[in-house]
Structure 1
């Protein structure tokens, strides 16, 4: 969609002007991953209008392959307006104008499925499933178990306002169970599924190899287990690809590097856990606290977190470092006003992710910290 950001705080009724930007969960992830140096492809539909042209040009500008994006001659590009207030506050308002949009008309019959499946990882979002019945059918097709399926990453992204009926939580649970990697907020799982805590979330999602439970400012926990879902894949978790991870463009997200295999079963809990995680007879869980961030705006942070985690996964980094890269990419989004932010340079992110636990716990990131000339000062590394 095209996003309209308010020129000043206040109710939508009172804001006199808006700044045009681009938005959308999957396209955000694709743009951030491309900016981080990965090959990324975005698969979608836009209207034959100026907004659609703007979206394609901007997303292409981030280095994303938009060759599989189709133009709908009859339906407009979706747009939405939002206030400056945080999503979780009563003052937050969003006005969606996407009913009947080009993207909402996506279907198995009119989307390039080969392009969507050509990457090493396919990143999807629960928002797309909410757009229409044909979009939901498409999501079910892309998440269906099949030989040679790319690794499926699924961000639950529960948005009650987008669901026309009460089936949203059930549908999101169905899709999440069919994915390989799932991102879900602890509070989101509570609201959508009535689940409290990591153990309950993990038990409700028996299929995924990795479940990442986000706790906002508190941090995030990654549960890692062997589900048997990689029987037809190589040791790196991908089918029919070389161990060095070369080749292949990502779809709706990324990328050009291999990822670790997924062993061991996850365990419950968030507190009293070192950065290296906990291992016992049931397996492994890793908790990483979020760094202290001087927040400018919260929008886009979840997509950036997913991009950071997936980027580190594709680079074969340890589970702890995948979470840390997720936090660092999210911090880049949190310290800028729009949906999209340039992620930190890879070398800089790697250096921060390698800090010992004490130094990581004292890390503070403010606006401009990703800029190389300000990185040392803004990061405030002890």
Structure 2
């Protein structure tokens, strides 16, 4: 098993997240976009979601991107910074490119009624390239986290992603979430591009549904066979849990660990994959064993699933640690609903034994 990740002692930053964030408009009520009378403004973006969740969990994190020289850009930088994220490396576009925005319905993504309207073509973030992004900023943490969304934004973004996927001296541990978004790709190159970037990463997150759609792979072991290069591969199976393959540095053999997902009363499914990555990375940075990393991923995902936005405040670390340490029966008995991450719920979990804590949190 690889040695636990530890922050570079010469840098205050543990994780750098690179990618586009957008101003997100959430509907005031369920229904078609055509029928929604008003929207609430918030933020959304895979990599900034990870950054916000990690910062809220107590990790020094930097988000790097480009935003427009407009009010929406101001809002993104201020809102993401409010989570404790370092936004000093975010660049403003001087050539009139706008900050991306999108609208979505309140309906579950899995239904045909779900709608998302993106206004991000030609955005400031699409101008990210090897020439516009500072390598010193990108390599300033111990972990650099990317997602496949960036590769689909423009040819310049793709060139940047390909360069960062090269195993060069001095590169931080590269974390990559495949995050396949078919609608963003302008051609049929997505499967080959995403596979190549994943092979260049050290830690990869991929959904089993993504792997099936992209590469016609239909089991965790088949996915691992196609992606032998990353030291750690995490295959997410939604409500069925997640499996981590961790290669031993000495003999090259994998240790395989699977952890079932939690039962959750879902408010909105958007952002759960990003939250899972943040939970897994947080536990990795703390040197926790693989099973605990997966459990913290599930807990962070549950926090977002039980909230209306793409980002939310995670449970206090002591609360999450308590739940992650439950025995298998108590873990399987948990059912989390809206409000479970609150301070009161955390105190309840801390004050009870593992069996009753499961009951208390399920009831909260």
Q: Is the 8 A contact 1:304 1:330 kept in 2?
A: yes
Q: CA RMSD in A?
A: 1.3
TM-score by length of 2: 0.88
Matching of residue 12 in structure 1 with residue 33 in structure 2: yes
> 1:231-260, CA deviations, whole angstroms, 9 ceiling, x for partnerless residues?
xxxxxxxxxxxxxxxxxxxxxxxxxxxxxx
What number of residue pairs does the alignment pair up? 330
Q: Which runs of 5+ in 2 are unaligned?
A: 1-21, 349-358
Match of 2:326 in 1: 355
Query: Within the alignment, does 1:330 sit opposite 2:273 as a pair?
Result: no
The aligned counterpart of 2:138 is: 116
Question: Where does structure 1 lack aligned partners over 5 or more consecutive residues?
Answer: 227-261, 266-281
Deviation at 1:94, TM superposition (A): 1.1
Equivalent residue, structure 1, for 2:10: none
Q: Which of 34, 43, 49 is residue 28 of structure 1 equivalent to?
A: 49
For residue 367 of structure 1, report the CA deviation from its aligned partner. 0.6
In the alignment, which of 143, 147, 164 is matched to residue 169 of structure 2?
Answer: 147
The structural deviation recorded for 1:264 is: 6.2
CA distance in 2, matches of 1:364, 1:264: 39
Query: Which of 193, 202, 205 is residue 224 of structure 2 equivalent to?
Result: 202
Which residue is 1:214 aligned to? 236
* Conservation of the 8 A alpha-carbon contact between 1:224 and 1:263: no
Q: Are 1:312 and 2:283 an aligned pair?
A: yes
The aligned counterpart of 1:65 is 86
* Deviation, structure 1 residue 41: 0.2
Aligned CA distance change for structure 1 residues 65 and 125 (closer, same or farther; 3 Å): same
- Which residue is 1:279 aligned to? none
Decide whether the 8 Å contact of 1:297 with 1:335 is kept in 2.
yes
**Are 2:248 and 1:292 equivalent residues in the alignment?**
no
Q: 3-state DSSP class of the match of 2:33?
A: coil
Give the counterpart of 2:245 among 190, 214, 223. Answer: 223
Higher mean Cα deviation, 169-178 or 47-56?
169-178
Partner of 1:170: 192
Is the 2:337–2:362 contact (alpha carbons within 8 Å) kept by the matching residues of 1?
no
Q: Tell me, yes or no, if the aligned pair for 1:144 and 1:178 is still in contact at 8 Å.
A: yes
Q: TM-score, normalised by structure 1?
A: 0.84
